[in-house]
Amino acid sequence: MSLGLVFPEDISVWINGEEIGAVKGWSSVSQRELYEVQAMEEQEPKALLPYGEHHRVTLDRLSSAAPGELRALSDFRITLKEKGRNVLFSGCEWQEFEEEMGLSGPAVIRAVLTARSREEEDA
């Protein structure tokens, strides 16, 4: 995959360690799965135990030279690099792609993925 046009204010996108393009913005929603522990013949749970977490990530205005290749990926890592920090999502699967065709070819307006884990580090 080759790199599309990247502007200084853009957030660079890396997949499996390779820079593939940039996004104008992104957002994520994290959810934790909880398991209820109940005693026999009790209505209310005695405890809630965490057993999993997942993240829904939305990428806005993804500029990449090969958006079609991105849809074929499964169980991948995506790193979003912006001023001063890197956000890494792993165990990723694509859910949605919203594309439009322009004079310069296809453009991804919005891409949504789910991830099993999220880490942040200073750049």
Q: Tell me what pLDDT residue 4 has.
A: 44
Q: How many CB atoms lie within 10 A of CB 1?
A: 14
Question: What is the pLDDT, as a whole number, of residue 119?
Answer: 96
Condensed to tens digits (0 to 9), the pLDDT of residues 70-85 reads: 888 999 999 999 988 9
Per-residue pLDDT at 9: 64
The pTM for the full model equals 0.76
Residue 7 pLDDT > 70: no
Determine the Cα–Cα distance for residues 112 and 106; give it in Å rounded to an integer.
17
